[in-house]
Structure 1
Amino acid sequence: MGAALGILTAIGGFVDIGDLVTNAVVGSRFGLSLVWVVVLGVVGICRFANMSGRVAAVSGRATFEIIRERLGPRAAGANLVASFAINLLTLTAEIGGIALALHLASSVEPRLWIPVAGLAVWLVLWRVKFDVMENVAGLLGLLLIGFAVALFLLGPDWGELLRQAVPPSPPANEHPAAYWYYAVALFGAAMTPYEVFFFSSGAVEERWTAKDLATNRVNVLIGFPLGGMLSVTIAACAAVVLLPAGIEVSSLSQIVLPVAQAGGVMLLAVVLVGIVAATFGAALETALSSGYSLAQYMGWSWGKFRRPAHAARFHLTMIVAVLLGVGILMTSVDPVTVTEMSVVFSAVALPLTYVPILVVANDPQYMGRYVNGRVVNALGTVYLVIVVVAALAAIPLMIATGAGS
């Protein structure tokens, strides 16, 4: 399936636990007044994922292999440390998201599901082939379309939703600093660094070449806009049901409340399967990205196309990352809080991810005649400025707003 990698990357990256929580929180507090950030994020991640996939297809090498060679071990090492830390934080949030979704489906204590979720993630990483993994997780994650069905069944005032979105402005009862804090968080959730690491490494896993550049574009242009659309429907459902009731999202059960209200138990069950699949897919992506980044930087053998015995350190890295995530969650830390922190710190780390990609995509040594054109570079430069501004603003806004509270 040509678009499977893009769908898995989008479902696991654009609609992971970070997007579920952040979009629902934003919808319940600000309505659709921040939908422009989702659009901005979709365009940005499409631009950079396309560059990352093109680099992998043309050079036959993944992101961190080239970053170390092109920028040197020190600069690449700083990138690695930041990226690995964000990956670990995000992986922890995703495992927590799986446990919360299974708790909603079963009423079993979430802490009992955490080790089960971690074990399931490891087993899939160890035993399941890459193409099977991407198809199953990506396609089951599409059940999140249930949020769009719920929105239609709720019969909202579409004119009111449009008025919330255009022109964008913070509601009268919200402080502008909180509005911009969530704008940065939403942007960080949309352009999480692990998405491009996974996408480029996945292209190598699938053995893309320059002949597959059209496949790269299909993956990008189908997968990420689809993820953006699902994100908007999550926020819209919250805006229709939770905002008028004054309910601020603090749990997964509140995120799916509009779905239960609109479609009852059947639609809720469909969406819960989608949430489990999306968070599970994101856990696979982040665990793989941890292994990819470290193995590529260190020059180790890596990839799911190799048997575990032939890429032992790659698989060991993923096992350690999963165990650390499970260990953090077993301390009773709130997965929703971990999620909110992960998207903000993702925004902080964005320049370390996107600057090297832009540099390499313009280097004829690696890209030959497939270097960026003027229009692509212009748009990439604009987004680089936005990424740097978001990174610089994230921590001050977190402190000034008490993490948006």
Structure 2
Amino acid sequence: MKKLLTLALAILSAVGGFVDIGDVVAGGTIGARYGLALLWVLILGVIGVACYAEMAGRVVAVSGRPLFDLVRERLGPTAALWNLLATMFVTLLTLGAQIGGIALVIELASDIPHVVWVIPIGLVVWFVLWRVKFQTIESVFGFAGLTILVFALSIWWLDPNWSELFAQATRPAPPAGEPVPTYFYHAVALFASAMTPYTVLFFSSGGVEEGWKPSQLRQQRLNVMLGFPLGGVLSLGIMAAAAVALEPTGMDVSTLGQIMLPVALAFGVVGVAAALLGFLGATLGATFEAALSCGYALGQYFGWTWGKRVAPERAARFHVSLMVSLAIAVLFIQTGVDPILVTEYSLLFSAVALPLTYLPVLVVANDRTYMGEHVNGRFGNFVGVSMLVVVVVAAVTAIPLMIGTGMGA
């Protein structure tokens, strides 16, 4: 049972990192437009986030110190401040997108405009963060998000042309008539949805809260290797379902309701209910991750007492930072801005910020002062450096592709 609960952190990190509102939108849109022609990007994203999550978790287990604390010490306060500013901007934008995503899910279930739900959602999230135990959040929302597997199940029910799907997956190029720059714009967005900066920060900070030790490195590595690929499978299910049911129609997907059409066609009302539960669990889990990550980043950089497991009166500044972050995100979405548009912008700016998030992790994981005999090996560095090159390419091309393609239009 203890190992199952430990795995819950990896599942929550994976579900929130891979199937938050960003990945739902990216997966549904890309599957409907390109089929499985961008599967290679999803695979790269799974490898990248798993690689860096393993590094971050190992750093925490060996040093016993939080990631941002080590980055500040290793790189200096100025360099770490740029890392903090980029992380906070992207995470706040992502937090707003998640809250808007929850509101859209409730709108689909209730037929009441999403703006009505934004403030109540903010209050509920704040109450849960304030009063509900970390372990409960891990278990309930991580496992609730797993019902998104209904998308994968719908593929078999819809009886697809398997040879066509295989051809799409093994042909990493835009379909005939699709502009190459637009194809790569969506590739960058999909990659950013898998490598969302807050995911590794949340995962490593959760390791500090759970008190990981060097003796648990094997278990921590197993969690990463099971949890994050599971998130990739859930994301692939959304993309593949859209490829089967929506791509042949040429539908331009722009709403959550359209993304759920494959499960509605396969399983009717029951399928829609399962998809809504999965979306709600995943977006709520991602909301908690993003909000906590804001508090984690600030607390670790400034040396505050922080942590979900620390009594609020002993970590007042940490809890105030959570409340302020939530208030900023709620007020932003309450203006009536389109949550889907916010999601698209959050993915692109996440791509730009990726090097500032992942380079420090690679640096610390190679520092024997902190890691001793547990520094990266040759294979770990090969994968880490290779993925960092991809991250830099995504960061450099994100804004030009966004402007040049009109955000993938």
Give the alignment's TM-score, normalised by structure 2: 0.98
Give 1:306's aligned residue: 310
SS at match of 1:380: helix
d(CA) in 2 for partners of 1:149, 1:105: 21
Aligned ranges 1:134-149 → 2 under 5 Å: 134-149=138-153
Give 1:89's aligned residue: 93
Question: What percent of counterpart residues are identical?
Answer: 56
Report the alpha carbon displacement of residue 255 of structure 1 after superposing the two structures with TM: 0.8
d(CA) in 1 for partners of 2:60, 2:75: 17
Correspondent of 1:150 among 154, 175, 187 = 154
Correspondent of 1:7 among 4, 11, 16 = 11
d(CA) in 2 for partners of 1:343, 1:151: 27
Correspondent of 2:266 among 262, 265, 273 = 262
- Pair 1:336 & 2:340 matched: yes
- Pair 1:399 & 2:403 matched: yes
Report the alpha carbon displacement of residue 107 of structure 1 after superposing the two structures with TM: 1.1
Stretch deviating more after TM superposition (117-126 or 272-281): 117-126
Aligned ranges 1:161-172 → 2 under 5 Å: 161-172=165-176
d(CA) in 2 for partners of 1:7, 1:359: 26
Stretch deviating more after TM superposition (240-249 or 50-59): 240-249
SS at match of 2:142: helix
Report the alpha carbon displacement of residue 344 of structure 1 after superposing the two structures with TM: 1.1
Correspondent of 2:218 among 214, 222, 226 = 214
> Contact conserved, 1:143 with 1:271, CA < 8 A, in 2?
yes
- Pair 1:28 & 2:27 matched: no
- Which amino acid is 1:359 matched to? V
- Pair 1:110 & 2:114 matched: yes
Deviations 1:332-353 (A, max 9, x none): 1000000011111111100001
Aligned ranges 1:272-287 → 2 under 5 Å: 272-287=276-291
d(CA) in 1 for partners of 2:198, 2:160: 35
> Contact conserved, 1:14 with 1:190, CA < 8 A, in 2?
yes
Correspondent of 2:245 among 225, 241, 244 = 241
d(CA) in 1 for partners of 2:250, 2:355: 36
- Pair 1:322 & 2:322 matched: no
Superposed CA RMSD: 0.8
- Which amino acid is 2:329 matched to? G
Report the alpha carbon displacement of residue 374 of structure 1 after superposing the two structures with TM: 1.1
d(CA) in 2 for partners of 1:291, 1:95: 17
- Which amino acid is 2:281 matched to? A
Aligned ranges 1:313-392 → 2 under 5 Å: 313-392=317-396
Report the alpha carbon displacement of residue 94 of structure 1 after superposing the two structures with TM: 0.3
Report the alpha carbon displacement of residue 379 of structure 1 after superposing the two structures with TM: 1.4
> Contact conserved, 1:57 with 1:203, CA < 8 A, in 2?
yes
d(CA) in 1 for partners of 2:124, 2:259: 24
SS at match of 2:309: coil
SS at match of 2:117: helix
- Pair 1:200 & 2:166 matched: no
Report the alpha carbon displacement of residue 173 of structure 1 after superposing the two structures with TM: 2.1
SS at match of 1:247: coil
Report the alpha carbon displacement of residue 113 of structure 1 after superposing the two structures with TM: 1.1
Aligned ranges 1:282-301 → 2 under 5 Å: 282-301=286-305
Give 1:73's aligned residue: 77
- Pair 1:223 & 2:220 matched: no
Report the alpha carbon displacement of residue 357 of structure 1 after superposing the two structures with TM: 0.3
Deviations 1:223-273 (A, max 9, x none): 110110111110111111111112111111011111111110011101101
- Which amino acid is 2:357 matched to? T
- Which amino acid is 2:92 matched to? L
Stretch deviating more after TM superposition (194-203 or 245-254): 245-254
> Contact conserved, 1:2 with 1:218, CA < 8 A, in 2?
no
In the alignment of these two chains, the number of paired residues is 405
- The runs of 4+ residues in structure 1 deviating greater than 2 Å are none
- Which amino acid is 1:90 matched to? T
- Which amino acid is 1:314 matched to? F
d(CA) in 1 for partners of 2:279, 2:383: 33
SS at match of 1:26: helix
Report the alpha carbon displacement of residue 167 of structure 1 after superposing the two structures with TM: 2.0
> Contact conserved, 1:10 with 1:226, CA < 8 A, in 2?
yes
- Which amino acid is 1:92 matched to? G
Deviations 1:185-235 (A, max 9, x none): 111100001000000000001111101111211211111101101111101
Give the alignment's TM-score, normalised by structure 1: 0.99
Report the alpha carbon displacement of residue 144 of structure 1 after superposing the two structures with TM: 0.7
